[in-house]
Amino acid sequence: YISDVVKAYHRRAFDDFKRYYHSLDLLLIDDIQFFAGKNRTQEEFFYAFEAMVAQRKQIIITSDTYPKELSNIDNRLISRFDWGLTVAIEPPELEMRVAILLRKAQAERIVMPEEVAFFIAKHLRSNVRELEGALRKVSAYANFHGRDVLTVEVCKEALKDLLSVSNSQITVENIQKTVADFYKIKVADMYSKRRPANIALPRQIAMYLAKELTQKSLPEIGDLFGGRDHTTVLHAVRKISGERQKNTELNQQLHVLEQTLKG
């Protein structure tokens, strides 16, 4: 929109500009905070806003703050923004972030395993643009270094300036949340007495990782898993340790979880 205002100004073609924008059925303006200080742009948008509202057309506006907190924006515009429905858009949940990354990768014809998308999504949580930037950065890094396959290791190298989690920050609670997210179960299942396979195995994996990645004792880990006995934790640690040696898929999943937790 700003670019069109500038073009109209240089070409002295504001009549054409107004004719176009006043006739739209829908107008979407992203990041309207960038209108700040641009008086002619704000003036033209005010007239477009008035014309579209009079015709009962739709206008959708996004910004990085609430209307009343916008700075260097004409008060006439801010008052009209308040006419509409204001909705806060929260950062996407982990599952949605993974889905977004996979969809973006597919659109860019980038082969991205789901565990790699999980690793990126787990560490980058603020917004979709950050995810898109990370995807491009990882892809460019892999191409530059001749890596044919995107792996967690490649992601760690490419995004090392963005990853801030360290080993000292790993807690049992963080392990429980990460494992629950990975296997798509509830964190509450880590403490429950339920024993179906889709819950029991992730719970045992979380116990194993708690023993491997924290300084907690077996009794302390048991307490954090719903007051379980230390022998239950020991059984889980031995079972997962043994299975890891034989089960390639499980070993890969554990590797992804470890790399995700370590950052």
Half-sphere exposure of 252 (CA within 13 A, CB side): 9
Answer whether residue 141 shows pLDDT above 50: yes
Q: Which residues contact 189 (CB under 8 A, 6 or more apart)?
A: 180, 199, 202, 203
Contact 117, 148 (CB under 8 A): no
| Residue recorded with tokens 């194993």 | 208
Contact 187, 180 (CB under 8 A): yes
In a domain, 213, yes or no: yes
Residue at a domain's end among 24, 49, 81:
81
In which domain, by residue range, is 175 found? 167-262
CATH label of the domain that carries residue 219: 1.10.1750.10
Strands 26-29 and 58-61: parallel
CA dihedral 112, 113, 116, 122 (to 10 degrees): 100
Residues 184 and 99 in one domain: no
Tens of pLDDT, residue by residue over 42-70, are 999 999 999 999 999 999 999 988 898 89
Residues 171 and 153 in one domain: no
Residues 191 and 122 in one domain: no
Answer whether residue 172 shows pLDDT above 90: yes
Residues 126 and 70 in one domain: no
The C-alpha atoms of residue 134 and residue 159 are separated, in whole angstroms, by 7
Tens of pLDDT, residue by residue over 150-167, are 999 999 889 988 775 444
| Residue recorded with tokens 């379980």 | 228
The number of domains in the chain is: 3
Residue-level pLDDT at 167: 43
Answer whether residue 111 shows pLDDT above 50: yes
The C-alpha atoms of residue 211 and residue 215 are separated, in whole angstroms, by 7
CATH label of the domain that carries residue 127: 1.10.8.60
CATH label of the domain that carries residue 29: 3.40.50.300
